[in-house]
Amino acid sequence: MSVRKLKPITPGQRFRVVNGYDAITTDKPEKSLLAPKKRSGGRNSQGKMTMRYIGGGHKKKYRIIDFKRNKAGIPAEVKSIEYDPNRTAFIALLNYQDGEKRYIIAQNGLQVGQTVVSGENIAPEIGNAMPLSQIPLGTIISCVELRPGQGAVMARSAGAFAQLMARDGKFATVKLPSGETRLVLVNCLATVGAVSNSDHQLLVSGKAGRTRWLGRRPRTRPVVMNPVDHPMGGGEGRASGGHPRSRNGVPAKGYRTRSKKNPTNKYIVERRKK
């Protein structure tokens, strides 16, 4: 994977850094795995704006992703690595031996023509999904389930990975991308390897219009608002804005919002870094 810095032939390209898309093998998605995607523009069912700074953007089709990897024991060939406008990671089209096609999150190093499989008693190779009970300790993993059969919920974005640290009884200790170390049931599935497109964090859009194409509208800084609009607004001249906080008054830096009574607190071995 690589990034390219464009020549400054226009103001919008002066600082632009684009993805080289070396890993992408096709620009035509599988039609049977597409679904319509409706835009809300930040409005609810009454047409009232409930989320600000959302609207516009290029039309998208949703790619149906198999997060459960529940076709156990059936080998599948990787037919293509594709771009997905709905996520930062690349996706891979699998062609199973029984004829079914599915999309999965592509792992770093996954190649076209490679065979992947999910289930028990398989080799811990890149792209294979298997229970945490059978993955060697210290392995880099991604697309981790939190409950058996739920489907992958953790370490799914570009370049993300978790690490299997230890096993004890029915729980495995997993170090997550946030730095949090937590207990996960050993019969939860995880995919071997880190998520693809690790260069995503190096990209620079170059101009405001590119952000508009992604469906994000301009965001007003709280400091320049009036007191009626935000706790950090108001003041004479360029006031600093006081303590950083949200529109509802919740402190923004260092204030912990996780409930002390959350029943899943007992599964967290070490909290994420501040």
The side-by-side arrangement of strands in the sheet containing 101-105 is: 101-105, 91-96, 76-82, 115-116
pTM score, whole prediction:
0.93
Integer Cα distance of 205 and 78 in angstroms:
31
Bridge partners for 107 per DSSP:
195
Residue 274 has pLDDT above 90, yes or no: no
Percent of the chain, pLDDT > 70?
99
At residue 2, the pLDDT reads: 87
User: Where on the phi/psi map is residue 198: left (φ > 0), alpha (ψ -120 to 50), or beta?
Assistant: alpha
**Would you state the pLDDT for residue 139?**
97
Tell me the mean pLDDT in the region 142-147.
97
Question: What pLDDT does 61 receive?
Answer: 97
Does 232 have pLDDT greater than 70? yes
Domain boundaries 3-201, CATH class: mainly beta
Residue pLDDT, tens place only, 168-213: 999 999 999 999 999 999 999 999 999 999 999 999 999 999 999 9
Residue 242 has pLDDT above 90, yes or no: no
Does the structure show a pLDDT above 80 at 89?
yes
Mean of pLDDT values over 255-261:
93
Maximum CA pair distance of the chain? 70
* pLDDT higher than 80, residue 143: yes
d(CA 215, CA 18): 19
The domain ranges of the chain are 3-201
**pLDDT digits over 94-104, tens only?**
999 999 999 99
157-188 b/e (C-beta count within 10 Å ≥ 16 → b): ebbbbbbbeeeeeebbbbbbbeebbbbbbbbb
Give the containing element (helix H, strand E) for 34: strand 34-36
Is residue 241's pLDDT more than 90?
A: no
Calpha distance 194→3 (Å, rounded): 19
The rounded mean pLDDT for the chain is 95
- Between 87-91, 214-218, 227-231, 238-242, the lowest mean confidence (pLDDT) is in 238-242
With residue 213 as reference, give the H or E element that holds it. Answer: helix 208-213
